Amino acid sequence: MPLSAGHPTLKDEIETAYNDAKEAGTEDGADPDAIIAQLAEDIGNAIHKYMETALVTTFVTAFGGQNSAGAPTATAVPAAVVAAPGTGSGTGDASGAGAGLAFGSPDVNTLISDIETANQDAKAAGSEDGADPGDIISTLATGLKDGIHKFALTAEVTTDVTIDAGQTVSGYMMVSGPSTAPVPAATVTGTGSGEGSLS
């Protein structure tokens, strides 16, 4: 499921979080801190869920250098090496085989905590005499931005990799009469995996 499919859900869940906070705030004896904590948890979880819907695609460079063996016609020198770099592609879809984006629970909790802090700071600023709504909103936006950005950078990326065919394999030699001759070879499609991060 791509981010474009997760985006409407993100909007719906943020809307639900705000509406729940509004409803909770209208109740007698409402606890603002508890409402903010719940709001932060709901929004943090919504952002987490949304980000994990991402499809990852990468362009892969294969460095070459692997040893090769087992060619039946390489009767003189049976060992070779993948002598040229190659290309490939990586994909990750967390809704599929497991590769894709993942976040650790501590990082999700930090996101929730950062959102809660941003809202608490806005509440505190708003309760001061002569509070400037524009300044409060700007500070809130900065707090939310910082929390979201810090969280996004914690993503653990995994990909399933396909290596394109065609890397030259050099070194195989065959017996050819009284001498030897090279056995031409090139790789066929390979597989692999990738691990990384976002920036």
Partner 1 sequence: MALGSSTSTLKSDIETAYNDAKEAGSEDGADPGAVIAALAEGVAQAIHDYFLTATVTTEVTIDTGQSDTAGGSTTNDGSGSGIGDPDSGTGGLT
Interacting residues with partner 1 between 77 and 116 (CB under 8 A):
78, 80, 82, 88-90, 101
**173-176 and 179-182 strand pairing:** antiparallel
* Long-range CB contacts for residues 64-71, cutoff 8 Å, separation at least 24: 64/167, 68/169, 68/171, 68/172, 68/185, 71/172, 71/183, 71/185
| # chain residues binding partner 1, by CB under 8 A | 79
Question: Tokens standing for 54?
Answer: 């991402």
3-class secondary structure, 151: helix
Which residue of 12, 31, 33, 132 would you call a contact of partner 1, by CB under 8 A? 12
Smallest gap from Cβ 156 to partner 1, in A, equals 11
Contact between 161 and 88 under an 8 Å Cβ cutoff? The reply is: yes
131 counts as binding partner 1 under rule CB under 8 A: no
Interacting residues with partner 1 between 34 and 73 (CB under 8 A):
47, 50-51, 54-73
Task: Give 79's strand partners.
Answer: 69
193 counts as binding partner 1 under rule CB under 8 A: yes
From 31-39, 103-111, 123-131, 189-197, give the range in contact with partner 1 by CB under 8 A.
189-197
Smallest gap from Cβ 113 to partner 1, in A, equals 18
Q: Left (φ > 0), alpha (ψ -120 to 50) or beta: where does 130 sit?
A: left
Interacting residues with partner 1 between 142 and 181 (CB under 8 A):
142, 144-146, 148-149, 152-153, 157, 159, 161, 163, 169, 172
